[in-house]
Structure 1
């Protein structure tokens, strides 16, 4: 793709990768920002402030990151920063970046509604639709209001904007909400190349849950499965890798189930530690209620580790080739049976692991970056590129 003259793209996202609750969606945003910088754009991510990072910085990939406001006030800060005519103010960021040429408004349940105040082209980015998650996290009143904002207000606000999402399943859900299918581009997650030497699998049966510790990830299902399977596999270990505000209830459940001796909570893990866990585990499990894609599933696949996940959980049904690179299940009983079968059948694990590794190679950040950059260039003044679909070869 031909490079452009330093057009400036602003990403509005409520968190960044370094946030204590950051996850796969934040990784995706930062990688897309880095990919378009590599293609000649400028990119800025505006997200909420937190104690793990400074108010402003530039990443090694050349992406500017501005952190303003808190969990909810970041939405107001985004509008204020735009309307003030500068991204960052001298005393806060040390530089003036000017107004953007284009805004990528990331809707993680709640949209930034930038289309209301911004006089710039807007791309709406949706990882997944939160229909099932609102009542899990909030009470009935807040859940109804949140779902109305996401399913009605946001759809009306962005009715003339192009959309980007990360899976065909999310595209189908957006169409169900009234978004024109022709305006939605699918740009899949990439998978980091495995560069470290392979690590040996654990000598004992091992399961891995990797991700944020929040209720809708349903780590409880992995804990209950571990409690039952440990009766016939006494050396079984479950590693829960990640952090989040739901950790203490999960620890209490492990104690109540009597499996605290075979469950290890790691907290935050570095990239090297994550790679080691993915390579050493016999099986990765993703009991999440909903995922836009399933980044950790494909990351596990890159290490030859098959996964078990729920068929109804959105994008995971595309991240896993059912019966080849892992298993998709319909309920908790099926989940237990699939995990048990894969733990006890080493030949099946090996075959699925090899297929999973080959499947993961089909998803690269370079390919995703090309597709995303095409959507961006098609929305800037003076261009007329059609919205692309990123198809897996």
Structure 2
């Protein structure tokens, strides 16, 4: 009783000598494992969030690596603004490849980004793990994977993941998602809200369209419900015969959407613009009158803020979750409950120029309240806490210097010469060397 295991020539895991091997310093201080990165054809707002947070930590001098799936638009390895990006595996094979990478490289901290399917990093490392959840996918599973596949996916997300990550801290980006996570049995005290920052609004000379114009941005997949935007266009065609819709994004659902536009008789007034770079995306936003966001679920809705930066109000669904925070209902946009209400809300904004402009001006002010520097500081605080609260003494004792550096970021004073977050802001606004990776421009 009270005595630890006896240490011999081959000590068991509990022996004091083991942590010096398992927790030795590697060339990775913080490893992010994520399904995709911002250069991926299906990358969007969640990938940009990960990239910006990683850049902020790297700007502080931490050695940061992002492991994600490979694709044809970027090399297998590169460094982007101080963040080493390693791309391996595909849509599903990324998961075992990521686990192998974590086990082999032994990063000091792991940030496990859970996009429905968990990476289960806790099973292959004894380093502190922090889990990021952008939104809960309950409604999306059956739409994407069918009835049986959807049940399996939901079981992984709602049953397996909470058990695998039962001792680790969580980060999410909206209160709505936090409440849904708590409903899965995740203790609220383990969930920290770290808001999204504002992407630099690209200044484009594009004027507002003279004729009414709607815009929808997103991956062309079923759960984004772009069909609703097409139906709104069709329903309002008699009242506004010159109304057009820009659809920005690409995905495997595009052929179905094009066929839908033909059936509705609006194909000649829908522009499927596909993948656009940042300038092209902002040109389309600047020209639009209303941003229509009919997605079933959004973790937050980063593109809502980008649209707001151009004075474009958003119409979306209450039930999407995150839009309840990125849209100030009745002020910077309108949130509704179904397609009929969405159609009426869009019609109201098209018809009432004063209301549309007032909401657009409010959207500009709202967009200006979110800063990446603040997000980086809060995220660093969560990582520091993950080490301090680790149940393994070897982790806490061996990472005192790393915790001090993370806390330095968390409590930075705002001195531009010393604050890493300030250098981050400089990088993303073009005032510092930065190789901007390809971006899909999708939420």
TM-score by length of 1: 0.91
Pairing 1:122-201 to 2, within 5 Å after superposition:
122-197=129-204, 199-201=206-208
Q: Give 1:210's aligned residue.
A: 217
Q: Give 1:63's aligned residue.
A: 83
Q: Give 2:244's aligned residue.
A: 237
Q: Of the candidates 315, 331, 344, which is equivalent to residue 338 of structure 2?
A: 331
Q: Does 1:78 align with 2:98?
A: yes
Distance 1:197 1:245, change over 3 A: closer
CA distance in 2, matches of 1:105, 1:371: 17
CA offset at residue 118 of structure 1?
A: 1.1
Pairing 1:222-371 to 2, within 5 Å after superposition:
222-371=229-378
* Runs of 5+ unmatched residues, structure 2: 1-25, 388-395, 411-443
Q: Is the 8 A contact 2:28 2:65 kept in 1?
A: no
CA offset at residue 303 of structure 1?
A: 1.2
CA distance in 2, matches of 1:149, 1:54: 31
Post-superposition Cα deviations, 1:192-248, rounded to whole Å, max 9, x if no partner, equal 232515531001100000111110000000000101111110110100001111111
CA distance in 2, matches of 1:361, 1:102: 32
Post-superposition Cα deviations, 1:50-83, rounded to whole Å, max 9, x if no partner, equal 1111111101x11111011111011110112222
Q: Is the 8 A contact 2:327 2:333 kept in 1?
A: yes
Q: Of the candidates 50, 54, 60, which is equivalent to residue 29 of structure 1?
A: 50
CA distance in 2, matches of 1:196, 1:299: 11
Q: Give 1:52's aligned residue.
A: 73
Q: Give 1:90's aligned residue.
A: none
- For 1:138, what is the secondary structure of its paired residue? helix
CA offset at residue 6 of structure 1?
A: 8.7
Q: Does 1:372 align with 2:379?
A: yes
Q: Give 1:93's aligned residue.
A: none
Post-superposition Cα deviations, 1:322-371, rounded to whole Å, max 9, x if no partner, equal 00000000111000000011011110010000011000101111111111
Aligned-residue Cα RMSD (Å) equals 1.6
Q: Is the 8 A contact 1:6 1:40 kept in 2?
A: no
CA distance in 2, matches of 1:167, 1:41: 27
CA offset at residue 20 of structure 1?
A: 1.3
Q: Give 1:96's aligned residue.
A: none
Q: Give 2:64's aligned residue.
A: 43
RCO (CA 8 Å, sep 6+): is it higher in 1 or 2?
Answer: 2
Distance 1:7 1:81, change over 3 A: closer
CA distance in 2, matches of 1:75, 1:135: 21
Which is greater in Rg? 2
Q: Is the 8 A contact 1:11 1:106 kept in 2?
A: yes
* Runs of 5+ unmatched residues, structure 1: 87-98, 389-393
CA distance in 2, matches of 1:257, 1:349: 27
TM-score by length of 2: 0.81
Post-superposition Cα deviations, 1:246-268, rounded to whole Å, max 9, x if no partner, equal 11100110011110110000000
CA distance in 1, matches of 2:194, 2:219: 23
Q: Is the 8 A contact 1:241 1:268 kept in 2?
A: yes
CA offset at residue 377 of structure 1?
A: 2.2
- For 1:312, what is the secondary structure of its paired residue? helix
CA distance in 1, matches of 2:251, 2:347: 28
Distance 1:208 1:219, change over 3 A: same
